[in-house]
Chain A
Amino acid sequence: MKPSPPYRALKFLRWFCREDFIEEVEGDLIEVFEYQYKQSPKKAKSKLIWTVIRYFRPEFIKAFNLSPNSTTMYQHNFKLAYRNFFKYKSTFFINLIGLSTGLACALLISLWIADEQNVDKFHEKDARLYQVMHNIDLGNEIRTLEWTPGPLIEALDQQMPEVENVAAVFPPSVHTFKGALAHDDIRMKASSKYVSSDYFSIFSHPILAGDKDQLLKEKYAVVISDQLALKLFGSTDNVVGKLLKWEVEGFSGDYFVSGIFESMPSNASIQFDLAFNYDLYASKNPELNRWSYNDPCTYLTLKEGSDVKAFENKIAGLIKKNDPESKGTLFLRKYSSQYLYGNFENGLEAGGRISYVILFSVIAIFLLLIACINFMNLSTARASRRIKEIGVKKSIGAKRSDLVIQHLMESVIMSFLALFLAMLMVTLILPEFNVLTGKQLLFVFSSEFIFTVLGITLITGLLAGSYPALYLSGITPISIFRGSSINSLSSLWIRKGLVIFQFAVSLVLIVMVFTVSKQMDYIQTKNLGYDKENVLIFNETINNDASYTSFKHQLKTVPGVLSISSISGDMTTGDRNNTTGIMWEGRSEDNLVDFSDLVVDFNFFETMNIELLEGRAFSEEFNSEKNKIIFNETAINQMGLVNPIGQTVRLWGKEKQIIGVVKDFHVESLYKTVKPSFFRLSERGMNTLVRIEQGKERETIEALQDIYKEKNQGLALDYQFIDDAYDKLYASESRVSILSGYFAGIAILISCLGLFGLAAFTAEIRLKEIGIRKVLGSGNTQIVLLLSNEYTKMVLIANLLALPIGYYLVNNWLGSFAFSIELKWWSFVGAGILSLMISWLTVGIQTVKAAMINPVDCLKDE
């Protein structure tokens, strides 16, 4: 039995080797193999394989052009594409501009989406990193909170074997404590959080200095970011162990730097510069030992391979087990999904920023589709020009697949040309786009990005070419040469349908832009129940109440300052404490009203221009104002109190007398209704409010800055106008408003380009008809009407389709606001008329030109 040489190697050899060499080569190989096989079978095999590989060289490789025609065909296709582009320049440019704008938008949007999806994904343990969330059943709704009971981390750490690390963080979510930081003579503001010792094992913030396991072992240790270290010490070397002075209410003192972490990247949703020891915070808040007291956020990493669902079930009832009175349940949320899926409705995840990601993806797809449709329409409409070429090719023997490939190639070439232009556009627009979206997007040529771009371009090319390729290749040569009409009814309908689709998409976008910008106007001009103009808000670092009072008095002396007050929390974000701890006469057992707790200073209602409905505001003329309470309208209604003034309620067990009722005002975003709130007095809130006389802003602020600096040991005044803060709340909405405006404009532009090309072409092929009509006595206007009639019909149909869809979409969007504009019929009619006008304008030039023609010119035939 002869040894058999490795079959695969020989098969490979036979595949590539020249036919006239193969017999000799294979024979020699086998002979050598058989000879070597006697010495070592294994070696012989590997030697043969190696030798085969060595034959893989130009001398031995056969010519693979099975049919030498195919390369020539491709060359020919290229040449034809090139000639066609040059011959029909207007079509070429319409297609190029359309496709490249579409692609540029798609590229920008995909850059943006990639960036959005990357937020918070950089943590090494991202797959196992969760936040413990807290659902509270309020009877009529379930509210989802980020803050969790204080004893929770200890329970998770000790009782749950699945938990790898768990950390408590305070204050919750994106909030930070702002305080003043001092070292030598440098004083600055910085934002801080209290984190428990496992924090840096859970989140991947590289530790640049200090012992990673010992960072927050000491109560007065602080870990700072490298940027802060650079600002304070000028370097990150030898900083560990240095002392810092930190001033924030209740926690002022000296802290030593135990480590430096690398500043959080811009795609981290939570940013802070200082990490203090959570144990220190806990030691000053004994309430944190109670299960009924919710304060910190809890983050954890699960051990690899843990069953998340099972773990969730395990912790769900943890609060009730420890505090039978509680109505809360716990669940997990993946940490990195908090950015895109931040909203909760009735205890269930309800989207969030993801809706904008989806919205813009859809817009990108539609823009590309519109551009593709231009290509389809123009190439099928111009079929008559290429019909002879196709006929000749077919009669010589071109297969349908060859023609399909030819036309697909043409469109793919087109789309790659467009890609080139689109890249250019994106590079130019990117800085502007970054300003608009508030991001730092960059063109990074990662393999992922290149694949996406090439993929998008290829798909666009194939899509754009698909219909023309199938349509043109399907025409029979007989009908071509016989001269029968090649524009069959069905193709005409498809073309019309595509134009209708284009216009419908543009119309939906127009309706969207109309509504979004109206709603934005509404938001910006809505009467919030207080006067947000000319009010400054800032916090201070004065360490005792007496000097705060003198600070206030000093501020009051500044000319231009109208009044001063303070508030816990701020005026715009609705971020404040809530409590159900109010008892009043006649309260039924299950009437759990969740009140907002606002702590305000004297003059608050005057400063903010909030209207009092009944009673009076807090006043310095009365004593024991701290035992008084003011409610808003909603609160009184929900409590069901009649003649509330003078009645007493019990807040956390203490009696308070109602002295006033104020008209509802918005301290929360307009997505929400006004919450029942009460106001209690404290002469010092977290944030100071100053109303400034209009027209004197500049000098007043300068004076305020001086006083502030003096009273805050050289710290610069970091203030915000409330109306600016308010506008910031709706930054993403106003971004959508601006961006959708641009995209709608581009959609219309591309659609109109297509329509323009189509109109020019129809006018051209109907030239003889127009000539005859004119000879027979038709007037210019009649001809213009005749030609634009067709387009008017298409746009009207598009209207019929698009307006209901648009209505549905914007209605849905407005529905998410508790306060929104009413949809008016005329804004839809307006959008319709606008689209009609635009289409007439586009078609108009062509039709008028066609109508003005002298019949002699188009009827004479040489």
Chain B
Amino acid sequence: MKAPSLGEFEELVLLMVAAQHDEAYGVSILESLEKQLDKKVNVSAIHVALKRMVEKGFITSRFGGITTDRGGRRKKFYVITAFGKQALDQQYSIRTDLYQQIPEISFN
């Protein structure tokens, strides 16, 4: 079976999920992504990425407890799976590998 692909935006979301281990949910990811990337992100885009990655098996989810915030709606927390971590590692190694192959270029 071909390994599922990981898109650019998906990768960013997955990194966020991994970074906020066990505490990542839609809005927290949104906020930190916006801070990191310094641009507006629509929450629907994050949800789409999350759903796709759940389907691909990169992350799993669980519901949090009921609070009075959020109109009484529970949060859904996401956790990275081993498979997801592996995908991140692979992506990372490919990137660094390639990066190191760049010859010394001077731009002056």
* B42-72 contact mask (Cβ, 8 Å, vs A): 1 or 0: 1111011001100000000001000001110
**Residues of chain A within 8 A of B71, CB atoms compared:** 2, 5, 26-27, 30
Residues A32 and B73 in contact, CB atoms below 8 Å apart: no
* A238-272 contact mask (Cβ, 8 Å, vs B): 1 or 0: 00000000000000000000000000000000000
Output the least CB separation between B75 and chain A (Å).
6
Whole-angstrom distance between the alpha carbons of A29 and B26 in the complex?
9
* A32-67 contact mask (Cβ, 8 Å, vs B): 1 or 0: 101100000000000000110011010110000000
Output the least CB separation between B58 and chain A (Å).
16
Residues B42 and A54 in contact, CB atoms below 8 Å apart: yes
Residues A23 and B74 in contact, CB atoms below 8 Å apart: yes
**Residues of chain B within 8 A of A23, CB atoms compared:** 63, 73-74, 76
Closest to A54 in B: B44
Whole-angstrom distance between the alpha carbons of A51 and B40 in the complex?
13
Closest to A27 in B: B73
Output the least CB separation between A32 and chain B (Å).
5
Residues B27 and A51 in contact, CB atoms below 8 Å apart: no
Whole-angstrom distance between the alpha carbons of A25 and B71 in the complex?
12
Whole-angstrom distance between the alpha carbons of A35 and B43 in the complex?
13
Question: Could you say which interface size class chain B belongs to?
Answer: 20 to 34
Closest to B40 in A: A47
Tell me if A28 is interfacial: C-beta within 8 Å of chain B.
yes
Interface centre among A28, A34, A51, by most B CB within 10 Å? A28
Whole-angstrom distance between the alpha carbons of A480 and B83 in the complex?
63
Whole-angstrom distance between the alpha carbons of A30 and B71 in the complex?
7
Tell me if B30 is interfacial: C-beta within 8 Å of chain A.
yes
Residues A59 and B48 in contact, CB atoms below 8 Å apart: yes
Output the least CB separation between A396 and chain B (Å).
38
Q: Contacts A32-B27, A32-B30, A54-B42; is A27 near B48 (CB within 8 Å)?
A: no
**Residues of chain A within 8 A of B48, CB atoms compared:** 57, 59
Residues A51 and B43 in contact, CB atoms below 8 Å apart: yes
**Residues of chain A within 8 A of B51, CB atoms compared:** 21, 59-60
Residues B70 and A31 in contact, CB atoms below 8 Å apart: yes
Tell me if A24 is interfacial: C-beta within 8 Å of chain B.
yes
**Residues of chain A within 8 A of B30, CB atoms compared:** 28, 32
Partner of A27, one of B42, B44, B75: B75
Whole-angstrom distance between the alpha carbons of A2 and B51 in the complex?
29
Whole-angstrom distance between the alpha carbons of A30 and B70 in the complex?
6
Output the least CB separation between B17 and chain A (Å).
14
Residues B42 and A28 in contact, CB atoms below 8 Å apart: no
Output the least CB separation between A34 and chain B (Å).
8
Interface centre among B27, B42, B63, B71, by most A CB within 10 Å? B71
Residues B47 and A27 in contact, CB atoms below 8 Å apart: no
Whole-angstrom distance between the alpha carbons of A813 and B105 in the complex?
102
Residues A24 and B27 in contact, CB atoms below 8 Å apart: no
Residues A28 and B74 in contact, CB atoms below 8 Å apart: no
Closest to A26 in B: B73
Closest to A57 in B: B48
**Residues of chain B within 8 A of A35, CB atoms compared:** 27
User: Which residues A514-529 have CB closer than 8 A to chain B?
Assistant: none
Q: Contacts A26-B71, A27-B71, A28-B47; is A51 near B25 (CB within 8 Å)?
A: no
**Residues of chain B within 8 A of A5, CB atoms compared:** 71
Output the least CB separation between B77 and chain A (Å).
10
Output the least CB separation between B82 and chain A (Å).
23
Partner of B73, one of A30, A55, A59, A60: A30
**Residues of chain B within 8 A of A32, CB atoms compared:** 27, 30, 43
Residues B27 and A31 in contact, CB atoms below 8 Å apart: yes
**Residues of chain A within 8 A of B25, CB atoms compared:** 24, 28
Residues B26 and A24 in contact, CB atoms below 8 Å apart: yes
Residues A29 and B76 in contact, CB atoms below 8 Å apart: no
**Residues of chain B within 8 A of A34, CB atoms compared:** 70
**Residues of chain A within 8 A of B70, CB atoms compared:** 27-28, 30-31, 34
Closest to B25 in A: A28
* B23-36 contact mask (Cβ, 8 Å, vs A): 1 or 0: 00111001000000
Closest to A29 in B: B43
Interface centre among B30, B43, B74, by most A CB within 10 Å? B43
Q: Contacts A32-B30, A51-B42, A54-B42; is A25 near B47 (CB within 8 Å)?
A: yes
Whole-angstrom distance between the alpha carbons of A28 and B69 in the complex?
10
Whole-angstrom distance between the alpha carbons of A712 and B70 in the complex?
99
Can you list 5 contacts pairing A with B, beta carbon distance less than 8 Å?
A26-B71, A28-B30, A30-B70, A31-B70, A35-B27
- Name the 4 nearest CB pairs between A and B, nearest first: A27-B73, A28-B26, A24-B76, A54-B44
Binding site for B on A (CB under 8 A): 2, 5, 21, 23-32, 34-35, 50-51, 54-55, 57, 59-60
Known: A23-B76, A30-B73, A59-B51. 12 other contacts (CB 8 A): A2-B71, A24-B74, A25-B47, A27-B70, A27-B73, A28-B26, A28-B30, A31-B27, A31-B70, A32-B27, A50-B42, A55-B47
